[in-house]
Chains A and B, each alone.
Chain A
């Protein structure tokens, strides 16, 4: 038994603000693991992903959710995807690596990112102020994702529902990122 106990303190833990019917909150215990497909063994890796999650690796620039809604796959690049799922313990990468059985390279990204879920009628107007991606429903369908920059911070924007977006940005600048989204909501509300 160690004399010391470490406490988990994600930078946006407990963040939850409401602007009328629009909610901005940090998802609890969101784990992120990156998957890299080995060159030449992509088919094998994709089969392993299908076996592990029961959904196929989505097309680039899109995401997909498992039938039990527990896990999301985001296809960020030809050879890269993120797995997102709830995991309170710091072993997310090991869990995914075990599922994939060595068919893909995995890296824990949980602590590299902060996440905010923006949901409600003001979501798109607020993002208009900081996000240069065209989020019009005709251009950015549900399950679309994009890497972009918001207020000089690298970010991933994912449309998870009609008026719901998951935003990811670097955890070290989490407070600046949250401020940017919050200020946008204040400005459009």
Chain B
């Protein structure tokens, strides 16, 4: 196919010819083309099928507002559906396919839907697919999805990469049209830090598509010259191919930069970058979008907005047809006719809805005034139009201008509502703008060139002055204020045929009227009922004409009828860009324990605990499943000695003259009198008296404590303590710093724990005897010939146990040393599963028990909440309801039939009672198979549990449809006297 519609001129580089494919047909275009301009150049006016009726559709606009020309770009895993051909930059080797048709684009079998359109009006989904219910998901939804829709995903993993970033500036200028360039020049010359972002690949906005002059040069040349000056400024960052898609709090904006979409290959670099721009001030110069006029069959390929026609003619050197008619309700349409004529394209007629003299004299122009288009012909390409007076005009393209809507979208992102201007027949930004934003140029209703440039400059000056930055007004170059009068004509009521408003979602004038007839008075209701404005283009070309139709129906004005506001994103943002680089293994940061390398080399299976990777168990050859490994680790630990990396527990260094008094406030139980060299278990309460964390704290010196928290709550506890330090007790001399990562800490547990550690701890640094280092002792020691370490005699397993900490850099080596030292005792590494089993056997509460509802009273630790001192949560923990005698209490459970495994989460019901919430007695919170006892055991909460030892109740799990009888027992299944701890 040759470039039959290519005409002279334009900003394209004819020395660079690009080959591309559309639906398998080889075509050619030039550097500087979009896919849309190249398709038009090649005479390809039919580019897609509509969403609902499968109507043939062409190219309607020349920008990001395009509702029709959505294509699938590239192929294979790189395939991207719903790309607007009007903004897809052409490159050599580009492949594109049309979407939403069965069979060929020209002969779409689903076009039969159009014949059924009388049955498919607005809201037909809601009325039609009511019954039978069984068909909803199995038949109706798949059928609808198959017959209506957009493009298809490749169903393969996205091979492209994406990135994110952060930018800062004094002034963000959004849109590099004439107003935006003036704003950027003003701010840039003042020395302010400026970002000028524009979605196009050639900055200049409408100057690139028009023949307007600035000073003594073309508008395009002026824009290029200004951009060159801006590019030379170190304080200005120019971002083309960048859409500022959202205005967020405090001057923060979201922007999508398309880095390599215009290249055949990304060459391993990010395809797109999602920027967060922190601006002190912003000027929105996003221009305006032309709106159509609705008339019968106004959706045929070849019908295009008049401004878009000018852009294709002037910027791309392409005519949309050989014989073009213009239909307008304003002066702007005449410029389209003039530009076409200047390029030698035949202008069939200019039809003006206004009964007045032409706004512009164009030699040879056929001017038809006071008329409208009521119908068109030409299935795959426009062939003729029919006017209100019945005359038919042959043409293969029609340029339509219904006036211009300022692009107010970003002004609405924080609920700002636009206001109506009668002189423009359009909404302009309202009074409530996002913080720090000013609006200038066409986006503000200054729709003529000179006024837009002046507004851009003045808005920048005002914003800089607001920042206290000095700036001088730059000279305004000579530019015209072009004629822009127009009439409020939204549709041609004489049309008998369907007249489209929302081309992407196939919503017609009739649909809006029907919506009104059926009682949908609110704009928002109308949108949802008809789906108008809810496609990927957010109704950029549809909303205002639809609103006008609605106003007609109600007999009110447009502002009385209301408007709709916009939300981010301005144009679609790929999910890949929102995800950025967070994918696969790098989805989130991973924290590794110091002995991770040793564990990896010794058969560990890892489990994610928050961001940590912890060894869950260490499988050995011959073991058939995880239970084999865990049972062995438990028995080996209780039988001799086991070693577990417990570095993940939070560690907080607490120092200061008031450290002890501070801990008295933080913990429910007392710490002020804890002796140096001793450790104490403590519980922490929230302000409402709920117990939220527990752990041990060691007093290393008079003014120095080392606290441990649970792994899960390490950050939460630190944050709450820092809040208490800074805000609740600012007069206390206390200082906190996290040392979680600083120390590699290992639990060494079991009857041979001391013997093992005697080989590790330097003999001259610590007497390891039971008397010299008793249960709950702590101290600074050295290990392995002088490495500083901390030793704590504490036990989570219930065995004789220690925790030993060394600087984290020695952690991996320490794990090896401990294992080597324990070889003669059969030392066994154990993971989090064995750790959990042993703590359940011992009856220690953990995260399963501290679930945000449980009090110290529930845990059987009510007496730990000291009445003799004040602490966080103390007062509210005394509420009567939280101290009821029949409150649930932590106890143990074992199955009556020892062979039956218990189910965590099962609820407890008294024998004989019905299984319902009214009879709920409590629940099983932690369940494990106890290899020590040879049967399943559980910790759980049951009403008055401490007084019900030996009672049999039912554990019921409706989720599993199972129930079993369980006996209430002590939570301490192993060594209830604690004698093992103290040997």
Q: Determine if chain A interacts with chain B.
A: yes
Contact residues in A for B586 (Cβ distance below 8 Å): 176, 179-180, 183
What CA separation (Å) do A80 and B722 show in the bound complex? Answer: 13
| Contact of B785 with A152 in the complex, beta carbons under 8 Å | no
Interface string of B409-439 (1 = CB under 8 A from A): 0000000000000000000000000000000
What CA separation (Å) do A173 and B808 show in the bound complex? Answer: 13
Chain A residue with the shortest CB-CB distance to B763: A2
| Contact of B166 with A2 in the complex, beta carbons under 8 Å | no
| Contact of B166 with A136 in the complex, beta carbons under 8 Å | no
Query: Which among B276, B731, B737, B787 is the interface contact of A90 at CB below 8 angstroms?
Result: B787
Contact A9/B809 with A40-B733, A176-B589 known, Cβ cut-off 8 Å: yes
| Contact of A136 with B589 in the complex, beta carbons under 8 Å | no
Contact residues in A for B655 (Cβ distance below 8 Å): 36, 105, 107
CB distance from B622 to the nearest CB of A (A): 30
Contact residues in A for B273 (Cβ distance below 8 Å): 129
Chain B residue with the shortest CB-CB distance to A90: B807
Contact A8/B193 with A2-B785, A39-B732, A171-B741 known, Cβ cut-off 8 Å: no
Within residues 805 to 831 of chain B, which ones have a CB less than 8 A from any CB in chain A? 806-814, 817, 820-821
| Contact of B590 with A112 in the complex, beta carbons under 8 Å | no
Size class of the B contact interface (CB-based, 8 Å): 35 or more
What CA separation (Å) do A139 and B193 show in the bound complex? Answer: 11
Chain B residue with the shortest CB-CB distance to A108: B742
Within residues 915 to 966 of chain B, which ones have a CB less than 8 A from any CB in chain A? none
Query: Which among B268, B653, B657, B785 is the interface contact of A5 at CB below 8 angstroms?
Result: B785
| Contact of B735 with A105 in the complex, beta carbons under 8 Å | yes
| Contact of B611 with A173 in the complex, beta carbons under 8 Å | yes
| Contact of A171 with B808 in the complex, beta carbons under 8 Å | yes
| Contact of B656 with A175 in the complex, beta carbons under 8 Å | no
Interface string of A1-42 (1 = CB under 8 A from B): 111111111110000000000000000000000101011100
Contact residues in A for B591 (Cβ distance below 8 Å): 170, 172-173, 176
B593 within 8 A of A: yes
Query: Which among A4, A105, A107, A183 is the interface contact of B817 at CB below 8 angstroms?
Result: A4
| Contact of A109 with B742 in the complex, beta carbons under 8 Å | yes
What CA separation (Å) do A177 and B821 show in the bound complex? Answer: 34
Contact A129/B735 with A152-B588, A177-B589 known, Cβ cut-off 8 Å: no
| Contact of A39 with B733 in the complex, beta carbons under 8 Å | yes
Interface of B, helix, strand, loop or mixed by DSSP:
mixed
Contact residues in B for A59 (Cβ distance below 8 Å): none
B971 within 8 A of A: no
Contact residues in A for B759 (Cβ distance below 8 Å): 3-4
CB distance from A174 to the nearest CB of B (A): 8
| Contact of A1 with B193 in the complex, beta carbons under 8 Å | no
Contact residues in A for B738 (Cβ distance below 8 Å): 112
CB distance from A169 to the nearest CB of B (A): 9
Contact residues in A for B808 (Cβ distance below 8 Å): 111-112, 171-172
Contact A90/B656 with A132-B166, A151-B589 known, Cβ cut-off 8 Å: no
A52 within 8 A of B: no
| Contact of A36 with B735 in the complex, beta carbons under 8 Å | yes
Within residues 265 to 322 of chain B, which ones have a CB less than 8 A from any CB in chain A? 268-270, 273, 276, 278
A113 within 8 A of B: yes
CB distance from B785 to the nearest CB of A (A): 4
Q: List 20 A-B contacts (CB under 8 A).
A: A2-B760, A4-B784, A5-B785, A8-B810, A36-B655, A38-B733, A39-B731, A39-B732, A39-B734, A108-B739, A109-B737, A110-B742, A112-B739, A112-B742, A134-B168, A151-B582, A171-B808, A172-B591, A172-B741, A173-B611
Top-10 shortest CB links A-B: A36-B735, A2-B785, A111-B808, A39-B733, A112-B742, A176-B589, A172-B591, A134-B168, A105-B655, A4-B817
Other than the given A105-B735, A172-B647, 19 more pairs (CB < 8 A) read A2-B762, A2-B784, A3-B821, A4-B760, A4-B817, A5-B784, A9-B809, A36-B735, A39-B734, A111-B741, A128-B167, A132-B166, A138-B193, A172-B593, A172-B740, A172-B808, A173-B591, A176-B590, A183-B586
